[in-house]
Amino acid sequence: MIQFLIDRICRLFVILMVLALALMVIMVFGNVVLRYGFNSGITVSEELSRWLFVWMTFLGSVVAVRNRAHLGTDALVARLPMAGRKVCFAVAHLLMLAICWWMLRGAWQQTRINYGTTSAVMEASMAWLYVSGMVFSLLAGLIFAHELWLLFTGRISDDRLVSVAESEDVPPAEVAR
């Protein structure tokens, strides 16, 4: 159930990221053409593009957490016995949950502080910019907590305990040991 919900949310985020990127390209390209060709421009395009970029980054980070696509170092973990891998997995996920909590608190504080502040051009509440950090930390925390639950209930596959299957520094035969 939770995995299904996470998958659907990530699918929605991918669609939103594509739309945001397309809108950013159209606005920035259109603004460049207008500036150089007609000596005018769309005032809101620069600020809105910046906001879309921030949101796209945080939404993409949630998708990357779900797909385990962030950079990681597994040279030590891949050589550990199964019990060591599980301990490292649990410790890493608990640390990431703590970071999500701190990020959620910070984003919430910034959202509250900037609620009454409006942006220069769009005159929208600056709180919307910081809500993106809250969305990321809540959803990434949910993903980490779900993976911890799978670990503690024994339903996580052994290959998920090591993020990267191969390393450029170590031949594949040595990683499997």
Instruction: Per residue of the chain (177 residues), give pLDDT as tens.
Output: 888 999 999 999 999 999 999 999 999 999 999 989 998 888 899 899 999 999 999 999 999 999 988 777 778 888 889 899 999 999 999 999 999 999 999 999 999 999 999 999 999 999 999 999 999 999 999 999 999 999 999 998 887 887 664 545 555 544 444
Query: From the CB of residue 150, how many other CB atoms can be counted at a distance below 10 Å?
Result: 15
Give the ranges where 39-175 is alpha helix by DSSP (H).
Answer: 43-67, 82-113, 127-152, 172-175
**24: Cβ contacts below 8 Å, ≥ 6 apart:** 49, 52, 53, 56
Q: What's the structural domain count of the chain? A: 1
User: What's the predicted TM-score (pTM) here?
Assistant: 0.84
- The residue range of the domain holding 51 is 2-175
d(CA 132, CA 5): 19
